[in-house]
Chains A and B, each alone.
Chain A
């Protein structure tokens, strides 16, 4: 790490500042700042959910292992796999292979779209068959629907925005535009969406499991 940093700037100390105190480009640093602020948004939502749940001892646990938990585990698998394909896209782009990078980004978008498709199927099943809405549900604690649809809805919005973002990056990469750093910054956003799901999945689904 220190040789890398020394190569990036002429300063001897990490704390000298200079032209590039973090040895990253400004796009990457900007995306990191956005990710940190968005992480706080999701933390606050998950905390509000925890608070509601602790203050309601009769909070429902409606997700049966088969099919709900298995279904959401498949969604988790799709999102984790999309992170692997995204990292491969960044890797290919760093090695100057634009065609491969474009294909990996398309694979990432496909996995993301699979996630959204499965998630919407689950939502429609909950709304139509189990009569859960953001304001009411058959199990007596209305906040269940509010927190469930609020948290998963904001996360799904992020995934959809990510797919659009990657689509823009992908068509540009295939036409020879944009640099490796642009793919890397898009990758940062995509991994963050995956990261958030790593907390939503256990807290919202697994903690509400019923055999």
Chain B
């Protein structure tokens, strides 16, 4: 079970995660416009999450059926939450005096 991963792989993943985190902190330091910042941060975080799940949590080396059972529905449920976000953008205009 453990033959595809070596200690070297773990170190490489760890260093990649540190570099991606540093890139995120750099974005905060540069005060990028909010929407670009949010998109970049979410993008980088999804890459980091994928690295942790694939290598540290070993999912890359499990059966495909385990991945298909767990993740498509999780991603779908998270995306469904975004349906409400349109309401949030309208609320500031609905306040009295706005």
Contacts and interface: CB of A to CB of B under 8 A. Distances in A.
Interface of A: 1, 4-5, 14-15, 21-24, 29, 32-33, 36, 39-40, 43-44, 47, 50-52, 54-57, 65, 69, 73, 76-77, 80-81, 83-84, 86-88, 91, 94-95, 184, 187-188, 191-192, 194-195, 198-199, 201-203, 205-207, 209, 211
Contact of B1 (A4, A69, A77, A198): A4
Contacts, number: 140
B81 A202 contact: no
B56 A206 contact: no
A32 B70 contact: yes
Contacts of B65: 14-15, 21-22
A57 B91 CA distance: 10
Given A55-B92, A94-B2, A191 B56 contact: yes
B28 A65 contact: yes
Contacts of B1: 4, 94
16 contacts: A22-B65, A32-B70, A40-B78, A43-B78, A47-B82, A50-B85, A51-B84, A54-B89, A55-B92, A65-B29, A73-B25, A77-B18, A80-B17, A87-B55, A94-B1, A207-B41
B41 A203 contact: yes
Given A50-B85, A80-B17, A206 B28 contact: yes
Contacts of A195: 49, 52-53, 57
B75 to A, nearest CB: 10
Contacts of A76: 21
Interface of chain A: mostly helix, strand, loop or mixed:
helix
Name the residue in B2, B24, B28, B48 with the highest tally of chain A Cβ atoms < 10 Å from its Cβ.
B28
A81 to B, nearest CB: 8
Contacts of A5: 63
Contacts of B77: 40, 43
A38 to B, nearest CB: 11
Contacts of B89: 54-55
Contact of B29 (A55, A56, A211): A211
| Nearest 3 Cβ contacts at the A-B interface | A55-B91, A54-B88, A202-B41
B53 A209 contact: no
Contacts of A50: 85, 88
A170 B68 CA distance: 32
